[in-house]
């Protein structure tokens, strides 16, 4: 026996399970406030937000629910039939009534045109290369704005039909219009519209065109009513009809969607169809999507999911992103340890020490089994690899390596190295003309494949590296050849050894690796080597340093089955729940899990494969799942502030706001747009100006009541995990002004005013105190004067002289005189402390004094007082005032028989007390200080507002004192 066995190939009948199934589909019933609505159109704006135009108005859809976009005027209900966002980010809505509306600051407002509104439903918008907005109507033709006017293209301009379903813009600026009578090509030349019609004579299979979508390269897919779809090249004018259209039996095409190399077709009666290339057949996806008949619109979100609207639901499927091939019955899942996708994209799995190949032929999978007598039924096949000769290498536990020629069915066990006899292989990989095998007990082999090895009987040349230190007798989990020809060995506990140009280098814990149990390797598009460890996550090695990614970066499960580089360059980590996808540029991680329909993924390293396009093939309980990421899609949520509300009213969230001190209660509603798994989004927000710490939340709203005046910046960001390092952020800045009374200038002014008031008050008090002091002083001075006058030797001298003349003549009178004299001095003592005394009392003093004087001067001196008794009681006067005035009168005037002196005291007008005497000039004048009268004037100044008047007309000397009624 030369060791060749012929594998017994058993052909099986085609499996009835035919096509790929749609995973992870979800549907949303079209209800708002318990009222159903129907979607007429779907639109995605530049931020990736999905809008639905419905019979109940314009709705936004965030992946969780519908939110109605209201008009600024309440109570308007209108059916939306078209939605558009122009180049300046303005959102437009077209209505069934023919009207247009613009959305500003979250509210819709009808757009009125001088030319009047169309009266037919608006079906589609487009913006041409001159930034003119065009919109099509279902019954009036095509309108467009230019030069501040609205223009209409209708039959007069050559439009073949006024019922236009949709518009599309071509590379050279022409506008294509789908009508009931063919495709119309519209072009503005010198401001005038020129129309050219494309119909059956140009190769268009059907007049009735329902949809036009861009296919790239100035080509467009045309959907029709009866004849399916075709491809129209606008540059050449050539119409290409796919072969599958000869058997078209699916009725009217409602909408088309291009996603990478697939065309998705929404029909009016047969649900969703798909075609993977011009010459491919058309697949019906009814069973997969569960939709039996009418699909109205198709839309692809920014993550690559496909959305479709029926009359009652909005449904999402993962589209091309995830495909389920239920090729094997679920029962054998547990026995599958190795999976391979060969060069013809056939699926190979191992089962019961044999292999099964599934080929896709004529619309279904055909099964072919291979068995190997060399293996007993207990042998586990753990790895499969197809080399460049298309032979399949099979790694087993305990039976070494077998090579199979899938065409002939021949196979042999490799005996090139005696070690292989009963070796247990842990992995088989390869690149180019090399196949690498790693295993237990010193299997670390590199096989060189040559042309001769096309026949498996030819021996393979190989090298075994089991004598290298750190590689040696250890378990070799993986041997990997990278694009530069380096060989990497991943060991169980001795880290990594790399063979480069004959030189060996080892990396382990001493180089910073946290874990030196290394499982699988992969290389990214930039030449970095990635590997996963048993428990420390994955590492990226750029040749110089290691970068670690673990759960803190968002890895959902550190038990990673295998590491692969996806077709778009991302690092894919397969775990038992699904996939973690690491974006090498941003470092962010997104997930494909049970929510998208994957369940129970095999944890065998060999069960993960890649197809010819590089898509990841994994083995699950339900069947083979292929992850084929869509180009130009996002992997992270997009953070959007939905609206900012001040006391429940929306404010303009696009400009920073200025508010008064009492406008201080704000609510922020935000979303991290992620249509694949909207419930898995984590948020962080922060209000700079209130708190500098980020707050974690799963809610999509936050309220800040009663904010203090200040400058604020609200920031929110979203992520699929707890890692927010490169999360998309949205902000809103605003300022709350201080109330007037807290502003600097107001406070400063107030303080100044207060100070001024205080100052003025103090000054007033001072003045008052001073006034009182002055009064006191005057009084003292006056007393002093009086006292001086009274102790005046002259007065005493004269008084005593008078007294002497009485003593002998009239002793009784002398006694009387002395009594009066003493009484007068007693009065001075009694009244000198008072500021004012009653006139009654003063006249009493006066009379006493006058008696003394009259004794001296006799009848030549008269005093006439004409004031009533009541008035004497009511009027007040500083004490000794009258006395001093009379004293003055006597002092300064001659008193004789020839020149008598008469003094009159009376009231004038009830407010003036007059003391008047006739003037008798003296020959020799007694010296007087003059201060007595001055003193009286000063005292009256302090006691009254009225002044004392002194009149001297040569004949009479008059002093007028203001009447004091109350005590001051």
C-alpha 566/C-alpha 39 separation (Å) is 36
Min dist. Cβ of residue 146 to another protein (A): 10
Instruction: Give kind and range of the element (H or E) at residue 662.
Output: none
Min dist. Cβ of residue 187 to another protein (A): 14
Instruction: Give kind and range of the element (H or E) at residue 482.
Output: none
Task: Take residue 465 and report the two structure tokens written for it.
Answer: 């590296």
Min dist. Cβ of residue 158 to another protein (A): 8
How many residues form the binding site for another protein (CB under 8 A)? 16
Length of the chain: 968
Query: Would you give the binding string for another protein spanning residues 55-94, x where CB under 8 A is met?
Result: ----------------------------------------
Q: How many CA atoms lie within 13 A of 364 on its CB side?
A: 10
Min dist. Cβ of residue 154 to another protein (A): 7
Figure out which of the listed residues 1, 16, 46, 148 binds another protein, where binding follows CB under 8 A: 148
Min dist. Cβ of residue 110 to another protein (A): 15
Would you count residue 128 as binding another protein (CB under 8 A)?
no
Q: What is the DSSP string of 533-568?
A: ESSS-EEEE-SS-EEEE-GGGT-S-S--SEEEE-TT
CA dist 490 → 14, 176, 423, 610 (Å): 41, 59, 18, 21
Would you count residue 185 as binding another protein (CB under 8 A)?
no
- Tell me which stretch binds another protein (CB under 8 A): 77-85, 109-117, 615-623, 791-799: 109-117
- Tell me which stretch binds another protein (CB under 8 A): 58-66, 147-155, 802-810, 828-836: 147-155
Figure out which of the listed residues 35, 114, 279, 631 binds another protein, where binding follows CB under 8 A: 114
In our burial notation (b when 16+ CB lie closer than 10 A, e otherwise), range 846-874 reads: bbbbbbbbbbbbeebbebebeeeeeebeb
Q: Is 75 exposed, middle or buried (0-12, 13-18, 19+ CB in 10 A)?
A: exposed
- The residues pairing with 193 across neighbouring beta strands, listed in sequence order, are 188
Figure out which of the listed residues 115, 500, 542, 662 binds another protein, where binding follows CB under 8 A: 115
Figure out which of the listed residues 84, 95, 134, 151 binds another protein, where binding follows CB under 8 A: 151
Figure out which of the listed residues 75, 116, 793, 927 binds another protein, where binding follows CB under 8 A: 116
Note the helical H segments in 250-374: 286-289
Residues 616/566, Cβ–Cβ less than 8 Å: yes
Figure out which of the listed residues 34, 147, 246, 924 binds another protein, where binding follows CB under 8 A: 147
Helices 931-943 and 881-892 cross at an angle (nearest 10°) of 150
Min dist. Cβ of residue 194 to another protein (A): 9
Would you count residue 150 as binding another protein (CB under 8 A)?
yes
Instruction: Give kind and range of the element (H or E) at residue 674.
Output: none
- CA triple 813-814-815, angle to 5 deg: 90
| Nearest C-alpha neighbor of 555 from the set 584, 588, 510, 530 | 588
Query: What secondary structure letter does DSSP report for 157?
Result: G
- Tell me which stretch binds another protein (CB under 8 A): 115-123, 277-285, 501-509, 674-682: 115-123
Residues 194-253 that bind another protein (CB under 8 A): none
Would you count residue 459 as binding another protein (CB under 8 A)?
no
Min dist. Cβ of residue 115 to another protein (A): 4
Figure out which of the listed residues 68, 89, 192, 547 binds another protein, where binding follows CB under 8 A: 192
Min dist. Cβ of residue 151 to another protein (A): 6
- Tell me which stretch binds another protein (CB under 8 A): 26-34, 142-150, 165-173, 747-755: 142-150
Figure out which of the listed residues 81, 127, 154, 584 binds another protein, where binding follows CB under 8 A: 154
Residues 6+ apart with CB under 8 A from 858: none
Would you count residue 119 as binding another protein (CB under 8 A)?
yes
Taking the least distance from each CB to another protein, the nearer of 188 and 618 is: 188
Query: Would you give the binding string for another protein spanning residues 586-625, x where CB under 8 A is met?
Result: ----------------------------------------
In our burial notation (b when 16+ CB lie closer than 10 A, e otherwise), range 38-55 reads: bbbbbbbeeebbbbbbbb
Taking the least distance from each CB to another protein, the nearer of 142 and 443 is: 142
Taking the least distance from each CB to another protein, the nearer of 153 and 167 is: 153
Secondary structure of residue 889 in the 3-state scheme? helix
Min dist. Cβ of residue 97 to another protein (A): 13
Taking the least distance from each CB to another protein, the nearer of 195 and 628 is: 195
Min dist. Cβ of residue 152 to another protein (A): 5
Residues 126/143, Cβ–Cβ less than 8 Å: no
CA dist 133 → 54, 127, 152, 219, 962 (Å): 22, 4, 12, 22, 96
Would you count residue 130 as binding another protein (CB under 8 A)?
no
C-alpha 317/C-alpha 286 separation (Å) is 12
- Tell me which stretch binds another protein (CB under 8 A): 146-154, 464-472, 709-717, 821-829: 146-154
Min dist. Cβ of residue 191 to another protein (A): 8
- Tell me which stretch binds another protein (CB under 8 A): 148-156, 578-586, 932-940, 950-958: 148-156
Taking the least distance from each CB to another protein, the nearer of 152 and 239 is: 152
Figure out which of the listed residues 15, 152, 787, 907 binds another protein, where binding follows CB under 8 A: 152
Taking the least distance from each CB to another protein, the nearer of 148 and 706 is: 148
Note the helical H segments in 810-838: 811-831
Task: Take residue 391 and report the two structure tokens written for it.
Answer: 């032979």
Min dist. Cβ of residue 209 to another protein (A): 23
- Tell me which stretch binds another protein (CB under 8 A): 149-157, 339-347, 761-769, 782-790: 149-157
CA dist 322 → 23, 152, 616, 675, 878 (Å): 7, 46, 10, 15, 117
Would you count residue 156 as binding another protein (CB under 8 A)?
yes
- Tell me which stretch binds another protein (CB under 8 A): 156-164, 421-429, 431-439, 561-569: 156-164
Would you count residue 766 as binding another protein (CB under 8 A)?
no
Q: What is the DSSP string of 735-783?
A: EEPPPGGGSHHHHHHHHHHHHHHHHHHHHHHHHHHHHHHHHHHHHHHHH
**Cα torsion 180, 181, 182, 183: sign:** negative
Min dist. Cβ of residue 174 to another protein (A): 19
C-alpha 374/C-alpha 3 separation (Å) is 9
Taking the least distance from each CB to another protein, the nearer of 194 and 805 is: 194
C-alpha 56/C-alpha 77 separation (Å) is 6
Figure out which of the listed residues 62, 140, 380, 604 binds another protein, where binding follows CB under 8 A: 140
Would you count residue 149 as binding another protein (CB under 8 A)?
yes
Taking the least distance from each CB to another protein, the nearer of 158 and 569 is: 158
Min dist. Cβ of residue 751 to another protein (A): 49
- Tell me which stretch binds another protein (CB under 8 A): 114-122, 649-657, 672-680, 930-938: 114-122
Taking the least distance from each CB to another protein, the nearer of 154 and 405 is: 154
Taking the least distance from each CB to another protein, the nearer of 144 and 521 is: 144
Residues 956/918, Cβ–Cβ less than 8 Å: yes
Under the phi-then-psi rule, with left for phi > 0, alpha for psi from -120 to 50, and beta for the rest, what region is 248? Answer: beta
| Nearest C-alpha neighbor of 58 from the set 8, 96, 24, 16 | 96
Residues that bind another protein (CB under 8 A): 114-116, 119, 140, 147-152, 154, 156-158, 192
């Amino acid at each position: 026996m030369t060791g060749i066995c012929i594998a017994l190939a058993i052909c099986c009948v085609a499996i009835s399970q035919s096509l790929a199934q749609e995973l992870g589909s979800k549907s949303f019933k079209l209800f708002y406030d318990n009222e159903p609505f129907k979607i007429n159109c779907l639109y995605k704006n530049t931020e990736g937000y999905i809008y639905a135009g419905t019979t109940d108005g314009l709705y936004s859809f965030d992946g969780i629910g519908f939110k109605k976009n209201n008009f600024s005027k309440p109570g308007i209900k209108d059916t939306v039939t078209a939605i558009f966002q122009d180049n300046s980010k303005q959102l437009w809505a077209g209505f069934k009534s023919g009207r247009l509306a613009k959305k500003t600051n979250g509210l819709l407002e009808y757009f009125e045109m001088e030319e009047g509104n169309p009266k037919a439903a608006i079906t589609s918008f487009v913006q041409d290369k001159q930034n003119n907005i065009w919109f099509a109507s279902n019954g009036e033709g095509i309108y467009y704005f230019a030069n501040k006017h609205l223009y209409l293209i209708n039959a007069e301009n050559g439009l073949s039909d006024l019922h236009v379903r949709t518009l599309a813009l071509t590379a050279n600026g022409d506008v294509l219009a789908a009508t009931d009578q063919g495709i119309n090509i519209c072009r503005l030349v010198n401001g005038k519209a020129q129309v050219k019609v494309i119909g059956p004579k140009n190769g268009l299979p059907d007049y009735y065109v329902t949809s036009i979508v861009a296919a790239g390269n100035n080509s467009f897919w045309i959907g029709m009513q009866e004849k399916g779809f075709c491809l129209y090249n606008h540059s050449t004018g050539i119409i290409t009809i796919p072969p599958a259209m000869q058997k078209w039996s699916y009725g009217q095409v409602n909408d088309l969607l291009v996603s990478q190399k697939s065309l998705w077709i929404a029909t009016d009666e047969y649900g969703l169809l798909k075609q993977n290339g011009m010459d491919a057949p058309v697949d019906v996806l009814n069973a997969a999507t569960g939709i039996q008949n009418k699909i109205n619109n198709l839309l692809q979100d920014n993550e690559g999911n496909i959305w479709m609207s029926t009359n009652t639901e909005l449904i999402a499927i993962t589209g091309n992103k995830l495909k389920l091939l239920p090729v094997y019955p679920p029962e054998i899942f547990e026995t599958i340890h190795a999976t391979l996708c060969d060069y013809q994209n056939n699926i190979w799995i191992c089962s019961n020490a044999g292999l099964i190949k599934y080929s896709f032929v004529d619309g279904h999978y055909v099964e072919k089994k291979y068995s190997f007598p060399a293996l007993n039924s207990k042998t586990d096949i753990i790895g499969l690899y197809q080399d460049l000769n298309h032979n399949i290498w099979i790694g087993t536990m305990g039976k070494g390596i077998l090579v199979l020629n899938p065409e002939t069915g021949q196979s042999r066990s490799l005996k090139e190295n005696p070690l292989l006899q009963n070796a247990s292989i842990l992995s088989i990989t390869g690149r180019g003309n090399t196949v690498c095998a790693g295993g237990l007990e010193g299997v670390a082999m590199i096989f060189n494949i040559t042309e001769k090895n096309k026949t498996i009987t030819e021996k393979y040349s190989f090298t075994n590296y089991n004598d290298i230190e750190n590689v040696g007798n250890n378990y070799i989990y993986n041997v990997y050849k990278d694009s530069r020809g380096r060989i990497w060995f991943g060991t169980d506990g001795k880290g990594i050894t790399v063979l480069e140009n004959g030189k060996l280098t080892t990396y382990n814990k001493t180089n910073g690796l946290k874990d030196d149990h290394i499982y699988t390797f992969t290389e990214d598009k930039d030449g970095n080597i990635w590997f996963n460890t048993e428990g420390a996550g994955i590492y990226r090695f750029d040749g110089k340093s290691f970068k670690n990614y673990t759960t803190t970066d968002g890895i959902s499960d550190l038990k990673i089955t295998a590491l692969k580089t996806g077709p778009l360059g991302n690092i894919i980590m397969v775990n038992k729940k699904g996939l973690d996808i690491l974006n090498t540029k941003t470092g962010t991680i997104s997930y494909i899990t049970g929510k998208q329909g994957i369940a129970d993924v095999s944890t065998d390293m060999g069960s993960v494969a890649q197809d010819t396009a590089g898509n990841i093939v994994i083995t699950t309980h339900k069947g083979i799942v292929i992850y084929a990421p869509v180009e130009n899609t996002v992997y992270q949520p997009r953070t959007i502030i939905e609206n900012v509300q001040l006391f429940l009213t929306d404010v303009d969230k696009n400009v920073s706001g200025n508010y008064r001190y009492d406008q201080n209660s704000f609510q922020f509603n935000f979303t991290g747009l992620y249509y694949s798994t909207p419930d898995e989004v984590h948020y962080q927000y922060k209000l700079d100006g209130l708190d500098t710490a980020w707050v974690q939340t799963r809610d999509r709203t936050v309220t800040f009541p009663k904010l203090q005046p200040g400058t604020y910046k609200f920031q929110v960001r979203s992520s699929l995990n707890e890692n927010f390092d490169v999360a998309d952020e949205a902000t809103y800045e605003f300022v709350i002004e201080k109330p007037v009374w807290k502003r600097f200038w107001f406070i400063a002014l107030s303080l100044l005013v207060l100070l001024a008031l205080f100052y003025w008050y103090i000054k007033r008090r001072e003045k008052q105190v001073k006034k009182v002091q002055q009064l006191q002083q005057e009084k003292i001075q006056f007393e002093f004067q009086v006292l001086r006058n009274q102790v005046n030797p002259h007065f005493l001298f004269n008084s005593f002289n008078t007294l002497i003349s009485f003593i002998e003549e009239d002793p009784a009178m002398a006694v009387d005189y002395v009594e009066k004299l003493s009484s007068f001095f007693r009065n001075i003592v009694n009244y000198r402390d008072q500021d004012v005394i009653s006139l009654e009392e003063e006249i009493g003093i006066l009379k006493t004094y006058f008696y003394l004087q009259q004794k001296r001067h006799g009848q030549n001196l008269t005093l006439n007082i004409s004031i009533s008794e009541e008035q004497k009681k009511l009027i007040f006067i500083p004490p000794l005032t009258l006395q001093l005035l009379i004293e003055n009168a006597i002092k300064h005037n001659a008193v004789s028989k020839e020149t008598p002196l008469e003094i009159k005291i009376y009231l004038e007008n009830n407010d003036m007390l007059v003391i008047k005497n006739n003037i008798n000039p003296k020959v020799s004048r007694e010296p007087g200080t003059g201060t007595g009268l001055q003193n009286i004037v000063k005292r009256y100044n302090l006691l009254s507002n009225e002044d004392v008047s002194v009149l001297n007309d040569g004949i009479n000397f008059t002093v007028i004192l203001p009447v004091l009624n109350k005590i001051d």
